[in-house]
Amino acid sequence: MKRRASGVGKIFRNMLRFPFLALFFLLAACSSTPPAPVPQKPASAIPAERSKPEDQRYANEIVLFAMGLLDTGYRFGGSNPDAGLDCSGMVSLVVEQATGRKLPHNAAKIAAQTRPISRDQLLPADLVFFNTSGPTFSHMGIYLGDGRFVHAPSSKGRVRVDRLDASYYAQRFSGARSLF
């Protein structure tokens, strides 16, 4: 009989499948070299920075934990990686594991407990919301940076990464919010 990995074991196994990503975040978090100058953007197009070091640490942990859930099965109402996750179950699990903060298992209620931000202020670990079934906040995910987010969609039944500018999600984008 094949033994199933525990939720945490599955996360670490998935992180091993993407070691370059874990290494990238580790190096980025520890880097002390100043970034190269970049062309100036209008102030509204420059994302805000995390105001406190612990917020940045939590943001890094949220992204890494979420990436460890890639390929986890989908289950409506699910909040356990072994049994399957839905979008708000995934987000609430990740946030609680990374920060200790408990969030409700409902996208609209999570939106109500987080700070609205503009799309051009998105930073990794911020939350993105979509109107996929009528309510403004009927689907959600965790922003990874570079226009990508991780989520638990019911279509194709697995936690995966998609792009905000993909036509399906671009048409249904309903807001961005920050935990910090």
| Catalytic residue chosen out of the listed positions 105, 151, 160, 177 | 151
Which one is catalytic: 50, 105, 139, 177?
139
Paired tokens of 127: 């939350």
Q: Let me know the angle formed at the C-alpha of 22 by 68 and 66, rounded to the nearest 5 degrees.
A: 25
Active-site annotation holds for 151: yes
Q: Which of 87, 103, 117, 176 is catalytic?
A: 87
Identify any residues that bridge with 139 across adjacent strands, giving them in sequence order.
130
105 in catalytic set: no
**132-141 burial: b if 16+ Cβ within 10 Å, else e:** beeeebbbbb
Residue 87 bears catalytic tag: yes
Question: Count of residues for the chain?
Answer: 180
The DSSP H or E segment spanning 24 is helix 19-30
List 74's β-bridge partners, or say none.
Answer: 85
**Active site residues per annotation:** 87, 139, 151
